[in-house]
Amino acid sequence: MFNAEGESPVVVRDVQFYSLCEHHLLPFHGRLHVGYLPGRHIIGLSKIPRIVDLFARRFQVQERLSEQVADALVQTLEPKGVVVSEAQHLCKAMRGVQEHGASTTVRATRGACGELLAMMQRS
């Protein structure tokens, strides 16, 4: 961790992840866009994909994955921030509705994040 020297938003986009759905034991994969408004501390940019990978390696659901990444950042950095994930679920393509190419977006927001969320949607 490093001391924050300003209040500029930090955004890491398109962090790819692969996980296994705990409900169907089928893969899901996607991208997480992680953004936070620094409090007193920041972390190295390479640590964000490592945090995502740590939680994605478990049997998982997308909603919990997003929440766990957001909670880890909040506990470590005490920022004001947001996490957005987009994923494709093979359980939707192979079972049930058999919908191919549809993606699911989940947001895990913490604190005052309206400005950050707007910035992430523009980029």
Structural domains counted in the chain: 1
pLDDT at 104: 77
CATH code, domain with 58: 3.30.1130.10
104 contacts 87 by C-beta, under 8 angstroms: yes
pLDDT confidence of 16, banded at 50, 70, 90?
very high
Rounded to 5°, angle at Cα 73 from 20 and 19: 5
* pLDDT 10s digits, 32-81: 888 888 888 899 999 999 999 999 999 998 889 989 999 999 899 888 77
Question: Distance (Å, rounded) from C-alpha 109 to C-alpha 5?
Answer: 23
* pLDDT 10s digits, 71-96: 999 899 888 777 778 877 676 666 66
Question: Distance (Å, rounded) from C-alpha 93 to C-alpha 105?
Answer: 16
Q: Is 104 exposed, middle or buried (0-12, 13-18, 19+ CB in 10 A)?
A: middle
Domain that holds residue 21: 2-122
Query: What residues act catalytically?
Result: 21-24, 62, 89, 91
Question: pTM for the whole thing?
Answer: 0.84
